[in-house]
Protein backbone atom coordinates (compact mmCIF):
# COMPACT_ATOMS: atom_id res chain seq x y z
CA UNK A 1 0.00 0.00 0.00
CA UNK A 2 2.81 2.40 0.84
CA UNK A 3 4.58 1.59 -2.41
CA UNK A 4 1.39 2.44 -4.31
CA UNK A 5 1.09 5.74 -2.43
CA UNK A 6 4.75 6.51 -3.20
CA UNK A 7 4.23 5.76 -6.89
CA UNK A 8 1.10 7.93 -6.98
CA UNK A 9 2.96 10.87 -5.43
CA UNK A 10 5.84 10.46 -7.84
CA UNK A 11 3.50 10.31 -10.84
CA UNK A 12 1.57 13.30 -9.54
CA UNK A 13 4.76 15.35 -9.32
CA UNK A 14 5.82 14.44 -12.84
CA UNK A 15 2.34 15.08 -14.26
CA UNK A 16 2.04 18.38 -12.40
CA UNK A 17 5.39 19.59 -13.74
CA UNK A 18 4.79 18.46 -17.31
CA UNK A 19 1.15 19.51 -17.67
CA UNK A 20 1.67 22.82 -15.90
CA UNK A 21 4.61 23.65 -18.14
CA UNK A 22 2.81 22.64 -21.30
CA UNK A 23 -0.66 24.03 -20.69
CA UNK A 24 -0.13 26.93 -18.32
CA UNK A 25 3.40 28.29 -18.24
CA UNK A 26 4.08 28.06 -21.99
CA UNK A 27 0.86 29.98 -22.66
CA UNK A 28 1.82 32.62 -20.11
CA UNK A 29 5.23 32.93 -21.74
CA UNK A 30 3.58 33.82 -25.04
CA UNK A 31 1.72 36.66 -23.30
CA UNK A 32 4.70 38.41 -21.76
CA UNK A 33 3.04 41.78 -22.29
CA UNK A 34 0.33 40.87 -19.77
CA UNK A 35 2.72 39.71 -17.01
CA UNK A 36 3.80 42.14 -14.29
CA UNK A 37 7.36 43.43 -14.68
CA UNK A 38 9.04 42.40 -11.44
CA UNK A 39 12.61 43.60 -11.01
CA UNK A 40 12.30 45.32 -14.36
CA UNK A 41 11.25 42.44 -16.59
CA UNK A 42 8.46 40.02 -17.29
CA UNK A 43 11.18 37.36 -17.76
CA UNK A 44 11.88 37.46 -14.02
CA UNK A 45 8.15 37.16 -13.34
CA UNK A 46 7.84 34.14 -15.63
CA UNK A 47 10.99 32.59 -14.17
CA UNK A 48 9.58 32.98 -10.68
CA UNK A 49 6.28 31.41 -11.69
CA UNK A 50 8.16 28.54 -13.35
CA UNK A 51 10.38 27.70 -10.40
CA UNK A 52 7.53 27.94 -7.90
CA UNK A 53 5.36 25.71 -10.09
CA UNK A 54 8.06 23.05 -10.36
CA UNK A 55 9.13 23.49 -6.73
CA UNK A 56 5.83 21.95 -5.66
CA UNK A 57 6.88 18.55 -7.02
CA UNK A 58 10.03 18.34 -4.88
CA UNK A 59 8.36 17.75 -1.48
CA UNK A 60 6.09 15.21 -3.16
CA UNK A 61 9.18 13.38 -4.41
CA UNK A 62 10.72 13.45 -0.93
CA UNK A 63 7.49 12.12 0.58
CA UNK A 64 7.35 9.40 -2.07
CA UNK A 65 10.90 8.35 -1.20
CA UNK A 66 10.09 8.27 2.52
CA UNK A 67 6.92 6.24 1.91
CA UNK A 68 8.91 3.80 -0.22
CA UNK A 69 11.47 3.42 2.56
CA UNK A 70 8.71 3.03 5.16
CA UNK A 71 7.24 0.19 3.11
CA UNK A 72 10.60 -1.59 3.37
CA UNK A 73 10.71 -1.19 7.18
CA UNK A 74 11.26 1.63 9.62
CA UNK A 75 12.49 4.95 8.28
CA UNK A 76 15.71 5.95 9.99
CA UNK A 77 16.54 9.44 11.16
CA UNK A 78 19.31 9.51 8.55
CA UNK A 79 16.93 8.60 5.70
CA UNK A 80 14.46 11.26 6.83
CA UNK A 81 17.14 13.96 6.98
CA UNK A 82 18.62 12.90 3.64
CA UNK A 83 15.24 13.08 1.90
CA UNK A 84 14.53 16.52 3.33
CA UNK A 85 18.08 17.80 2.74
CA UNK A 86 18.21 16.64 -0.86
CA UNK A 87 14.75 18.13 -1.55
CA UNK A 88 15.96 21.44 -0.10
CA UNK A 89 19.13 21.45 -2.20
CA UNK A 90 17.11 20.61 -5.31
CA UNK A 91 14.78 23.46 -4.34
CA UNK A 92 17.80 25.80 -4.37
CA UNK A 93 18.57 24.87 -7.98
CA UNK A 94 15.20 25.93 -9.36
CA UNK A 95 15.38 29.67 -8.54
CA UNK A 96 19.04 29.64 -9.57
CA UNK A 97 18.13 28.26 -12.98
CA UNK A 98 14.81 29.95 -13.67
CA UNK A 99 15.63 33.43 -12.34
CA UNK A 100 19.41 33.29 -12.77
CA UNK A 101 19.76 33.65 -9.02
CA UNK A 102 17.86 36.93 -8.80
CA UNK A 103 15.14 35.38 -6.63
CA UNK A 104 17.03 34.96 -3.38
CA UNK A 105 15.07 31.98 -2.05
CA UNK A 106 17.90 29.79 -3.37
CA UNK A 107 20.12 31.10 -0.55
CA UNK A 108 17.65 29.97 2.13
CA UNK A 109 17.09 26.58 0.48
CA UNK A 110 20.84 26.05 0.11
CA UNK A 111 21.58 26.97 3.71
CA UNK A 112 18.69 24.91 5.09
CA UNK A 113 19.62 21.89 2.96
CA UNK A 114 23.25 22.11 4.01
CA UNK A 115 22.30 22.37 7.67
CA UNK A 116 19.91 19.42 7.44
CA UNK A 117 22.45 17.20 5.65
CA UNK A 118 25.12 18.24 8.12
CA UNK A 119 23.03 17.25 11.14
By residue range, what is the domain housing residue 32? 2-118
* Rounded Cα gap, residues 36 and 70, in angstroms: 44
The pLDDT of residue 74 is 86
Tens digits of per-residue pLDDT, 41-94?
Answer: 788 888 889 989 999 999 999 999 999 999 999 899 999 999 999 999 999 999
Helix, strand, or coil here: 23? helix
Tens digits of per-residue pLDDT, 5-21?
Answer: 999 999 999 999 999 99
Q: Where are the alpha helices (DSSP H) in 1-119?
A: 2-20, 26-30, 42-55, 57-72, 77-98, 105-118
Number of structural domains, the chain?
1
Q: Phi first, then psi: what are they for 38, rounded to 5°?
A: -85, 140
pTM of the complete model: 0.83
Tens digits of per-residue pLDDT, 24-49?
Answer: 988 888 876 777 787 777 888 888 89
Amino acid sequence: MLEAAALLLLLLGVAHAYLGERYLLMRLARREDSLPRLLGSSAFTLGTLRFVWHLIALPWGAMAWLLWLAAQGEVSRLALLQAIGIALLASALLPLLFTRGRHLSWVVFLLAGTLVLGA
